[in-house]
């Protein structure tokens, strides 16, 4: 993506066009040995600039250690930029006074379903966030109900989280974030530990929150199939954004992705392999329906020629 | 008899026995593991896979039924279960969280030392295991905590391999790894089977992974074994697998849809390579 000018336009102005604006962000980890001597420096995020509009569904791909999670942690001020800036909904994440507002605007869901739930009972867990925000009790009850219903977990409101499946636990974690009425949810590999149904449930929930509630979604994942419905995909490699585009544009670049330790959805790869074997199939096939349609086209064009 | 490395014989295990929350995690489970097999164990979260795996290494004792390892009952009072845990190695989920030693070499030699090998023998076993999982010599003296996620997982697998197991059980070994990391790790596991003849049990949530790697698949649901067959045969039951919260490899779905659309393809192909050949054949 093109770098924009560094000149600092007032953030209020930028808010109109861009909900999240990351400018020339750089973040380094200093590695130290046991005696606290500096061993070296790892640049986890290296001069990243990107913009996200409100209501977008964004996916971030990248191999282990590419800087995805470090980048994500900057969005809701878990980490602060060393160089560059992160503006979320008009707020500079370095502005300490805005910390709570920033965390309310962008909530985060992590990988492990077992260490994000603190309540003994599902509805207690969902109420925890709004309680901390000082929301009046009636409204808390209302928010808990709404959030659990949105995630399809209302029937489990009195259950102990221990008795839920991984997918259900992750949906409770998302409900707990939703109850704080965020404009944006960052999901950092939310399905890595889930079985196929759990993965499907979580991704379906994220899409619904985006489509129905208009919540901005930033999804980090290693599962290529999960990003085919995203509006835009960013691919990170060695701390930098190496590709940006629609899923179709990104997944047309099979070879480049493989060189960055990534891959494409299985259907896309099958289409790519068939093309390499001489079939006339376009790049960037994303779904089974598309592939079946293309193959049937080939069949009809062939029978058309022979008859 | 010795063709069977391990026999699970009518295992029953109940959690919270005698309480209102009692739940049968294993409900009459029987199967065999043959020497040198690669078995995929699949089932949704809570289907009983992990409970079963813990029985195989005698971390849990069944309420009834038993397990025979090379013909001997491992739950007999005098059976040497410590030695068993060397022969049947278990790599837990996210094993990198269990690393604790200061260097990779001491981490990996901890297990063999614990099994009673002397220091030199243990370090030789550790050395071979570290090489075996494809880590570079530079790693030996590094702290395991300075390695990347994929490397840490290899160290954890090496720690189990150093005990020279005959059966290696891996619980979701590729979870959280990037696509290339997943492929590399799966290839390494396949090699352990092909080159060293180690029997592999791969617990996985990825139908594509087990379709690609396993000789046989065991499917668990609600504490029971529902299918125990070759991958192709298991994945003909797409609807039943979906009802269990699982599914089939992506390629099965593609071929089923092509067939439904009138293309004469064999729907039993389950890997990408097979699917590609099948489609090219049908179009030829």
Interchain CB distance below 8 Å, B246 and A197: yes
Interchain CB distance below 8 Å, A165 and B172: no
Burial class (CB in 10 A: 0-12, 13-18, 19+), A37: exposed
Is A258 in the same domain as A303? no
Q: What is the pLDDT of residue A54?
A: 96
B44 touches chain A (CB under 8 A): yes
Q: What is the pLDDT of residue B17?
A: 86
Q: Measure the N-to-C terminal CA separation of chain B; round to a whole number of Å.
A: 48
Q: E strand or H helix at A92, and its extent? A: strand A91-92
Is A138 in the same domain as A150? yes
Q: What is the pLDDT of residue B282?
A: 93
Is A243 in the same domain as A273? no
B181 touches chain A (CB under 8 A): yes
Whole-angstrom Cα distance, residue B140 to residue A201? 42
Query: What residues have CB less than 8 Å from B137, skipping those under 6 apart?
Result: none
B238 touches chain A (CB under 8 A): no
- Residue span of the structural domain in which A106 resides: 11-264
Give domain status of residue A4, yes or no: no
Give domain status of residue A223, yes or no: yes
Does pTM surpass 0.80?
yes
Whole-angstrom Cα distance, residue A106 to residue A183? 6
Question: Which among A69, A23, A22, A24 has a CA at the least distance from the CA of A47?
Answer: A24
* Count of domains for chain A: 2
Is A213 in the same domain as A290? no
Report chain B residues whose CB lies below 8 A from the CB of A224: 179
Residues B132-169: tens digit of each pLDDT = 998 988 888 888 888 877 888 999 999 999 999 999 99
pLDDT band at A1 (very low <50, low <70, confident <90, very high): very low
Please determine, for residue A11, whether its predicted confidence score (pLDDT) is greater than 60: no
**A65, A196, A263: residue with CB nearest B246:** A196
CA distance A97 to chain B (A): 35
Whole-angstrom Cα distance, residue A167 to residue A187? 13
Q: Percent of chain A at pLDDT above 70?
A: 92
CA geometry: angle at B84 spanning B81 and B86, to 5°? Answer: 125
Query: Mean pLDDT over residues A71-94, rounded?
Result: 95
B264 touches chain A (CB under 8 A): no
Is A54 in the same domain as A34? yes
- Site from B279, B280, B281, B282 to mutate, A interface, most A CB atoms within 10 angstroms: B279
Q: What is the pLDDT of residue A12?
A: 44
Q: Measure the N-to-C terminal CA separation of chain A; round to a whole number of Å.
A: 49
Query: Mean pLDDT over residues A98-119, rounded?
Result: 90
Question: Which among B247, B257, B262 has a CA at the least distance from the CA of B42?
Answer: B247
A193 touches chain B (CB under 8 A): yes
Is A171 in the same domain as A277? no
DSSP string across A181-246: --SEEEEESTTTT--HHHHHHHHHHHHHHHHHH--EEEEE-S-GGGGTT-SEEEEEETTEEEEEE-
Domain spans in chain B, listed from the N-terminal domain onward: 249-284
Residues shown for chain A: 307
Residues A171-219: tens digit of each pLDDT = 999 999 999 999 999 999 999 888 888 899 899 999 999 999 999 999 9
Put simply, the chain A residues between 20 and 59 with a CB less than 8 A from any chain B CB are 31
Q: What is the pLDDT of residue A15?
A: 42
Is A86 in the same domain as A96? yes
Is A245 in the same domain as A283? no
Question: Which among A62, A58, A29 has a CA at the least distance from the CA of B177?
Answer: A62
Q: What is the DSSP letter of A2?
A: P
The parts of chain B modelled with pLDDT lower than 70 are 1-2
Whole-angstrom Cα distance, residue A189 to residue A110? 6
Is A69 in the same domain as A19? yes
Task: Report CA torsion sign: B233, B236, B241, B246.
Answer: positive
ipTM over 0.90: no
Is A227 in the same domain as A282? no
Report chain A residues whose CB lies below 8 A from the CB of B249: 266
Which of the given ranges, A34-38, A246-250, B42-46, B94-98, has the highest pLDDT on average? A246-250
Give domain status of residue A281, yes or no: yes
Give domain status of residue A2, yes or no: no
């Amino acid at each position: 993506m093109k770098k924009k000018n560094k000149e600092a336009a007032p953030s209020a102005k930028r808010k109109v066009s861009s909900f999240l604006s990351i400018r020339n962000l750089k973040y380094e980890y200093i590695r130290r040995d046991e005696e606290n001597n500096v061993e070296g420096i790892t640049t986890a995020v290296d001069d990243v600039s990107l913009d996200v509009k409100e209501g977008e569904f964004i996916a971030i791909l990248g191999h282990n250690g590419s800087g995805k999670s470090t980048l994500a942690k900057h969005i809701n001020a878990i980490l602060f930029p060393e160089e560059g800036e992160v503006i979320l909904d008009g707020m500079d994440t370095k502005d300490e006074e805005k910390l709570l507002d920033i965390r309310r605007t962008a909530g985060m869901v992590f990988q492990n379903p077992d260490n994000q739930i603190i309540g003994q009972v599902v509805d207690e867990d969902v109420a925890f966030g709004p309680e901390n925000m000082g929301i009046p009790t009636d409204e808390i009850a209302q928010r808990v109900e709404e959030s659990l219903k949105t995630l399809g977990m209302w029937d489990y409101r009195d259950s102990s989280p221990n008795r839920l499946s991984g997918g259900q636990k992750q949906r409770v974690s998302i409900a707990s974030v939703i109850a704080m009425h965020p404009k944006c949810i960052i999901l950092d590999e939310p399905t890595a530990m889930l079985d196929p149904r759990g993965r499907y449930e979580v991704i379906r929930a994220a899409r619904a929150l985006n489509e129905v509630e208009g919540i901005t979604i930033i999804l980090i994942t290693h599962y290529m199939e999960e990003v085919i419905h995203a509006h835009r995909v960013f691919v990170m490699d060695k701390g930098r954004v190496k590709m940006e585009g629609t899923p179709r544009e990104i997944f047309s670049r099979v070879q480049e992705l493989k060189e960055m330790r990534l891959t494409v959805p299985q259907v896309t790869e099958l289409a790519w392999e068939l093309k390499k074997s001489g079939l006339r199939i376009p790049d960037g096939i994303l779904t089974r329906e598309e592939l079946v349609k293309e193959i049937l086209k080939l069949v009809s064009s062939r029978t058309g020629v022979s008859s | 008899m010795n063709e069977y490395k391990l026999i699970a014989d009518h295992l029953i295990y109940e959690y919270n026995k005698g309480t209102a929350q009692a739940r049968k995690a294993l409900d009459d489970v029987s199967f065999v593991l043959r020497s040198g097999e690669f078995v995929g164990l699949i089932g949704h979260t809570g289907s009983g896979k992990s409970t079963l795996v813990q029985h195989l290494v005698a971390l849990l004792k069944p309420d009834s039924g038993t397990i025979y390892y090379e013909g001997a009952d491992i739950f007999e009072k005098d059976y040497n279960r410590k030695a068993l845990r060397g022969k049947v190695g278990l790599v837990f989920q996210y094993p990198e969280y269990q690393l604790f030693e200061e260097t990779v070499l001491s981490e990996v030699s901890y297990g063999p030392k614990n099994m009673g090998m002397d220091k030199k023998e243990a370090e030789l076993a550790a050395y071979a295991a570290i090489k075996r999982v494809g880590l570079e010599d530079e790693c030996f003296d590094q702290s395991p905590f300075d390695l990347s996620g994929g490397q840490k997982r290899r160290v954890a697998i090496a720690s189990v391999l150093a005990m020279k197991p005959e059966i290696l059980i891996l619980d979701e070994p590729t979870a959280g790894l990037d696509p290339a990391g997943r492929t590399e790790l799966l290839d390494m596991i396949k090699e352990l089977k092909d080159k060293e003849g180690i029997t592999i049990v791969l617990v996985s949530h990825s139908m594509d992974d087990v379709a690609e790697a396993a000789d046989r698949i065991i499917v668990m649901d609600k504490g029971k074994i529902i299918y125990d067959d070759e991958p192709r045969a298991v994945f003909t039951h797409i609807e039943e697998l979906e009802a269990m919260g699982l599914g089939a490899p992506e390629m099965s779905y593609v071929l089923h849809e092509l067939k439904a659309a009138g293309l004469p393809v064999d729907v039993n192909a389950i890997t990408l390579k097979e699917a590609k050949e099948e489609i090219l054949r049908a179009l030829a």
